[in-house]
Amino acid sequence: MKKTVFGRAVAHVFMAGAALVLTACGGGGSDSGSSTPVTTTPEVTTPVTDPTTTPEPVAPVATAPVVPDAEVLALADATNIASSGFPWSGRFAGVVKRWTLPIPVKTNGEPRAVPAMDAIEAKLGFVVFDRTSIAASDEATITRGIVFRQGTSYLPAGANPQAYCANVARAPLEGGYPSTFMFAPGEISARLYVNLDNPQCTASPEIVIHEIGHALGLGAHFKGFGDDDGPIGPAFWPVLATLYANPIGTPKTSVVVKQVKN
């Protein structure tokens, strides 16, 4: 039985090659001694179903978003709009809080910052970061922008180093935000540090994107942002995109959800 199957497979391959020859040169080859009418008939149909041929065109189907609009809005509300918890502490409650774009960035030569910013801009579809204006500035002179540092993650005494691998704060090795980092009607504007790594943990590419997410205006974690799905999950992108698709200060009832193509 195995032998029979093997023999058919060999014939299959051979005839596929013959079909290619016919296609290429218009047929009429003289090397027809090894093929017979018995095997030719069924093999003619082979290229049609051969998985190596061009796939059949599939009619476009409208696919539902991975995270429904209502859930995106609820998550955006919980992590940003409602101003509950850190870092909002109730300020500018009920409206969208985010930066005016573009956001100046000083990477301090941190190589992980670049692909992370690239990924965010690719998902959102527009320029988010100004990578040049403060790139060479003395940090003390920077009043507005994101500054990357390496080896400066805030690690409380006795804490699990893996759980404190990176953070966003007002300074290296700190855990708090600047006392003033928002202006009416909800504009984030300050020098915020993205602190990466501690002596026992190196931030992954996903963690770097996660931290930039915090810096861009995501507060509390949610499923898709540091909770259950790892540093970033499917819900991270539409929540972030929604914040940046609506004007600063937009009340929740007027927020338009923005989905992201994967």
Q: How far is the CB of 166 from Zn ion (least distance, A)?
A: 8
224 touches Zn ion (CB under 5 A): no
Contact between 80 and 251 (Cβ < 8 Å): no
Question: Is the CB of residue 122 less than 8 Å from the CB of residue 81?
Answer: no
Say how far apart CA 193 and CA 128 lie, in whole Å: 17
Kindly report the CA angle at 160 between 156 and 163, in degrees rounded to 5?
A: 95
Per DSSP, 80 falls in state: I
Of 224 and 226, nearer to Zn ion (C-beta) is 226
Residue selected from 87, 145, 186, 226 as contacting Zn ion according to rule CB under 5 A? 226
State in angstroms the smallest separation of the CB of 94 from Zn ion: 23
Least separation in angstroms between CB 162 and Zn ion = 13
| Nearer residue to Zn ion within complex by CB, 15 or 194 | 194
226/238 with CB nearer Zn ion = 226
Among 33-41, 51-59, 79-87, 219-227, the segment contacting Zn ion (CB under 5 A): 219-227
Kind and range of the H or E run holding 115: helix 113-124
Contact stretch for Zn ion (CB under 5 A) within 45-53, 88-96, 226-234, 242-250: 226-234
> How many other C-beta atoms lie within 10 A of the C-beta of residue 32?
10
With respect to Zn ion, which residue has the nearer C-beta, 172 or 247? 172
- Element (H or E) spanning 121, and its range? helix 113-124
The residues binding Zn ion (CB under 5 A) are: 226
